[in-house]
Amino acid sequence: MKLVVFFCLLLVLTTSNAYGYLDPGSGSAILQGIIGALAAIGIVLKLYWHRLLRFFGLRKPTAYDDSDEDESTGRPDSRNP
């Protein structure tokens, strides 16, 4: 076990430089991914904001929340007879 730890430390301490290069295209792709992730998080929060508030007990359910309408279409829910 001590030998494994020794070799792991030796590997970490004796690393050399990779001399990698990130061109502007790579940087813009990373920035685009970060902006896209933030936008996706914002949309999800917008869609489920009222459900999150009800889950944490910060908002009481309204009459609309208890209706038989399907949330995605606004029509009566076909699963409930």
Give pLDDT tens digits for 26-68.
989 999 999 999 999 999 999 998 888 888 888 877 766 555 4
Please tell me the predicted confidence (pLDDT) of residue 40. 97
Helix (H, G, I), strand (E, B) or coil at 2: helix
Residue with tokens 């690393």: 15
pLDDT band at residue 23 using 50, 70 and 90 as cut-offs = confident
Residue 71 has pLDDT above 90, yes or no: no
As a whole number of angstroms, the distance between CA 42 and CA 49 comes to 10
Q: What is the pLDDT of residue 41?
A: 96
Residue extents of the structural domains in the chain: 27-65
Q: Higher pLDDT residue, 8 or 21?
A: 8
